[in-house]
Amino acid sequence: MSLFLIAALPFLGALFPALLIRAGRNAAAASAGFTTFLAFVGLLLNAPAVLRGEVIQARLDWLPGLGLNTNFFLDGLGLLFAGLILGIGLLIILYARFYLSREDPMGQFYTYLLLFQGAMVGIVLSDNILLLLVFWELTSLSSFLLIGYWKHLPEGRQGARMALAVTGSGGLAMIAGMLILGHIVGSYDLTVILQHKEMIQASPLYLPALILILIGAFTKSAQFPFHFWLPHAMAAPTPVSAYLHSATMVKAGLFLMARMWPVLAGTPEWFYIVATTGLITMVLGAVIALFKDDLKALLAFSTVSHLGLITMLLGFGTKIAAVAAVFHIINHATFKAALFMSAGIIDHETHTRDIKRLGGLRFLMPITFTIALIACLSMAGLPPFNGFLSKEMMLEEAFHTSWMGSPYFIPGLAVFAALFSAAYSFRYIVHVFLGPKRHDYPAHPHDPGTGLWLAPAFLVFLVIAIGIGSNHIVGPLVSVAAGAVIGGELPYFSLKLWHGFTPALWMSLAAVTGGLLLLWLHPRLSKMWNAAPRPEAKVIFDSLLGTLTRASRGVTDALHNGSITRYSAIMVAFTIAISLYAYQSGVASEATRAVQQAGALPVIGWICLVSATGFIVLNHRNRLLALVLIGVVGLIVSLSFNYLSAPDLALTQISVEVVTIILMLLALNFLPKETPVESPLAIRARDAVIAIVAGTGVGGLIYALMTRDFSAPSISEFHLANSYKGGGGTNVVNVILVDFRGYDTFGEIIVLGIAALVIYALTEAILGSKVRAYLLNRKPDSPQDGDPHPLMMVVATRVMMPLALMVAAYIFFRGHNLPGGGFIAGLIAAIAMLMQYMASGFSWAAERQKVYYHGIIGSGVLIAAATGMGAWLAGQPFLTSAFGYLHWAPLEEFEWATAALFDLGVFLAVVGAVMLTLESLARLAWQPGMNSEHAMDINPARDDAAKLKEEV
């Protein structure tokens, strides 16, 4: 199966559980399992070739200009990790089906799980570090959803946020590191980077790149000092913990270190940073784990400790240590997933995870006991289980490694950690399962159904099988995976239980004996531990985050306090400042154009404009008057467009003006008629200064612009020359809209539609809230009119409607060659309908309006898109227009153009958007009693004289 498909399958499959949950929980689980199984089979089909030592590649150039290509490759390491992710994923899907309760939304769970799985598979298959980063961030996001799955629990939400904050910020550091790495090599392809070890290690940027990449890996793999997020992520449902913390999420960091091992490892910097961090994490995790009473917390810290172990092995930088690391990755995944599942079973059946409340469960839950026993002994490093083999290899390697010249430091601490590791493993068995049966369990414990224990049972079967027949079962896989990590000749190694009386065996023996001793001393040690002061990671994290939040809030509040006046003051003042800088540092050329004589008409228009704006400034607190004055300004502007030979603009301006004023009148309905004076005089004076300076500046700029020629030739010449030849229309403005810049127009009608839908959605949201009651009971602030739908208005608008629509049609059809077009026609048609709403009221008109405006907007956009795509049929690019001439016998010859169809789309989108906005605003104003069955209040033709008399 193609690697593209393997990587894409989980993402595609993520759709199904969310949809199929309607068909029941089994259907959702089965669909998730089936996609994972398909991807797993696809992976296995590639396995024989990989095991032969081949590297499978799939390449697709995505954004080659950025070096970002969807290249995938599958080598031994990728096979190992993808196998773990998909294989354990399958078991988790089975387990989760029986673990989650009826109240949990299971469709969501599987969708999140598959998204996460897809992101993980993407990481391990990527052959491009930028692509890898994309998947890396996707794991942070999808794990956030999974950890916070129980959103009703505060711990779940806080844990999810913490995990996202830590791994997300680590991811940011890693982006920087990866970019540096790509910069050094000159390619973002992993396969290329992996061949340039000398170049990278000789570069002065090696250390920064190394540190940044390691921060990413350490945060993801919960290495000290970033280990604290992992235990808090235990608030997630157990299947999530089992998946994220055994085989996938936390292993992503290890995967990255293993992947980069050939080029980054082998230097002292690598050794001291990675091995030391790993060592500290291993010891710290093991010690804390012993004193945790929560089963999952114990397992969480043990996971931290084992991750430290693997990190340390990778940090050693020797080939055989890398082999041990790869082997322990497999072993840890098997026994840790089984242990998490067993902890989940105990929690599920006894309703507690507190070790202090458990004990004696071996009688009540024999199957769970068997599973946990084998997995724990493997974790403690006892033969003949797989944990023993890799722990032995680790101790052997530790024995041969010296740190800062001391040969005892690493072996000593490794034994110390192994000792605690054995102790907490034994504690899991002894304090939970052994001992006398108790009578105070929170629930009656019993073994679960097959569905729950089958997955962990299969995993412990693997634990035993790998332990006994390691060379046959995982030998080849470890060889190819380690070969991929090392990137060269494999050292000799043998995966077997008995190596003779090696130092490692004695160390192992010491650890197990010490572990038993520690367990015996546990009650006393535990008291001392609890009495000792310890730094609490969550408190530190929260206070750090709180400080950051307060600081950013301080900055934000200073700039964004919700006052539009302040926003515009800041924006305008800033613009003035940079304009001033530009003015001082730039040079203005000499004026090249003479100033023309102004005629009488422009002067009259100018006087109207100036006095209207002056009155607005004086009277802006009276909102209605201000609106009327704005209308005057709009009228003069459209008249001046007309005077300056821009009839298209004039038509557009005047129709936009009408629609805007009507809609603003509707909105004013909800505001007081007057704006009170609130700001002190000083602030108003400041605002006046800003306004005057900005206004003068803009005026001067425009004057300067108009008295000079363009420094470069304008595009207008091209438009004028090609409008008829290329676009088939003599109205250049319309041809620009529907042809030259058709793509812009297409985008704009979509934006217009979205804006109208947003207004509609806001209305819906407001009407769904408490505000609805207020709106329904709102008292008007001045007395109402007794005759809101007067006879004359109603009759006149009825007469005008067909006339106006005819004008719209006329404007629409002539648009291509004479002033007009879809946009203007749409506005005119909208005005024709607006008049009906105004004359007879919203509810009366709405009852007679059968087509939803959403549909009109949608059909407009679709028609425009379909017209654009029609060009494909002729083998032309999107939105290429065509035109020709037709001659039908009785008619004059006329032109047809596909641009007219596109214009129809514009027309419909405009009509729909305007009307939807009107409808939304009118719905807010609606109050009971406004419904009228008659078009007008007083109708002489209607026989309701009796009713009228009665009212009076």
Partner 1 sequence: MEQFFELLITAFLIMAGLFGLVGSFGLLKLNDAMSRLHAPTKATTLGVGGVLLASMANAYANGPYLSVHELMITLFLLLTAPITANFIAKVHIHQRESRNSLPTAGEDGAWATKNLPDTDEG
Residues that bind partner 1 (CB under 8 A): 783-787, 790, 792-793, 796, 799-800, 803, 937-938, 948-949, 951-952
Tell me whether residue 487 or residue 790 sits nearer to partner 1 (CB atom). 790
Tell me whether residue 585 or residue 784 sits nearer to partner 1 (CB atom). 784
Cα(353)–Cα(346) distance, rounded to whole angstroms? 7
How far apart are CB 952 and partner 1 at their closest, in Å? 5
Tell me whether residue 66 or residue 792 sits nearer to partner 1 (CB atom). 792
Phi-psi label, residue 221: left if phi above 0, alpha if psi -120 to 50, beta otherwise: alpha
DSSP result, 517-555: HHHHHHHHHHHHHHHS----HHHHHHHHHHHHHHHHHHH
Cα(895)–Cα(257) distance, rounded to whole angstroms? 68
Tell me whether residue 584 or residue 784 sits nearer to partner 1 (CB atom). 784
Q: Which amino acid is at 772?
A: R
Cα(232)–Cα(236) distance, rounded to whole angstroms? 9
As a dihedral over the C-alpha atoms of residue 321, residue 322, residue 328, residue 329, rounded to 10 degrees, the angle is: 160
How far apart are CB 626 and partner 1 at their closest, in Å? 18
Tell me whether residue 481 or residue 794 sits nearer to partner 1 (CB atom). 794
Tell me whether residue 56 or residue 800 sits nearer to partner 1 (CB atom). 800
Tell me whether residue 294 or residue 937 sits nearer to partner 1 (CB atom). 937
Q: Using alpha carbons, select from 815, 645, 816, 810 the residue that is nearest to residue 724.
A: 816
> 126: helix, coil or strand?
strand
How far apart are CB 758 and partner 1 at their closest, in Å? 33
Tell me whether residue 324 or residue 831 sits nearer to partner 1 (CB atom). 831
How far apart are CB 797 and partner 1 at their closest, in Å? 9
Q: How far is CA 645 from the centre of its chain?
A: 49
How far apart are CB 574 and partner 1 at their closest, in Å? 44
Instruction: Tell me the CA distances in angstroms from 420 to 241, 290, 333, 412, one per residue in order.
Output: 22, 7, 20, 13
DSSP H helical ranges for 317-408: 319-350, 361-364, 366-380, 386-399
Question: 128 with 187: CB under 8 angstroms?
Answer: no
Question: 10 with 35: CB under 8 angstroms?
Answer: yes
Tell me whether residue 55 or residue 801 sits nearer to partner 1 (CB atom). 801
Tell me whether residue 28 or residue 838 sits nearer to partner 1 (CB atom). 838
User: What length does the chain have?
Assistant: 952
Tell me whether residue 103 or residue 950 sits nearer to partner 1 (CB atom). 950
What's the token pair of residue 643?
């005077």
Question: 886 with 924: CB under 8 angstroms?
Answer: no
How far apart are CB 701 and partner 1 at their closest, in Å? 39
How far apart are CB 627 and partner 1 at their closest, in Å? 15
How far apart are CB 705 and partner 1 at their closest, in Å? 37
Backbone angles phi, psi at 759, to 5 degrees: -60, -40
How far apart are CB 621 and partner 1 at their closest, in Å? 19
Question: 791 with 886: CB under 8 angstroms?
Answer: no
How far apart are CB 781 and partner 1 at their closest, in Å? 13
Tell me whether residue 607 or residue 701 sits nearer to partner 1 (CB atom). 607
How far apart are CB 793 and partner 1 at their closest, in Å? 5
How far apart are CB 638 and partner 1 at their closest, in Å? 17
How far apart are CB 604 and partner 1 at their closest, in Å? 15
How far apart are CB 946 and partner 1 at their closest, in Å? 12
Cα(733)–Cα(303) distance, rounded to whole angstroms? 68
Tell me whether residue 570 or residue 795 sits nearer to partner 1 (CB atom). 795
How far apart are CB 658 and partner 1 at their closest, in Å? 13
As a dihedral over the C-alpha atoms of residue 226, residue 230, residue 235, residue 241, rounded to 10 degrees, the angle is: 160
Cα(654)–Cα(641) distance, rounded to whole angstroms? 10
Tell me whether residue 56 or residue 791 sits nearer to partner 1 (CB atom). 791
Cα(341)–Cα(347) distance, rounded to whole angstroms? 10
How far apart are CB 921 and partner 1 at their closest, in Å? 21
* Residues forming a β-bridge with 294: 354
Backbone angles phi, psi at 731, to 5 degrees: -85, 100
Cα(536)–Cα(544) distance, rounded to whole angstroms? 13
How far apart are CB 937 and partner 1 at their closest, in Å? 7
Tell me whether residue 610 or residue 806 sits nearer to partner 1 (CB atom). 806
Cα(385)–Cα(336) distance, rounded to whole angstroms? 13
Tell me whether residue 554 or residue 672 sits nearer to partner 1 (CB atom). 672
- Angle made by CA atoms 720, 721, 722, in degrees to the nearest 5: 95
Tell me whether residue 19 or residue 803 sits nearer to partner 1 (CB atom). 803
By CB atoms closer than 10 A (0-12, 13-18, 19+), residue 553 is exposed
How far apart are CB 712 and partner 1 at their closest, in Å? 42
What's the token pair of residue 658?
């009408």
Non-local (6+) Cβ contacts of 660 within 8 A are 634
Question: 259 with 75: CB under 8 angstroms?
Answer: no
Q: Using alpha carbons, select from 245, 251, 241, 260 the residue that is nearest to residue 174.
A: 260
* Residues forming a β-bridge with 674: 622
Instruction: Tell me the CA distances in angstroms from 668 to 462, 664, 785, 918, 925, one per residue in order.
Output: 73, 6, 17, 13, 11
Cα(542)–Cα(69) distance, rounded to whole angstroms? 39
Cα(431)–Cα(369) distance, rounded to whole angstroms? 12
Tell me whether residue 785 or residue 943 sits nearer to partner 1 (CB atom). 785
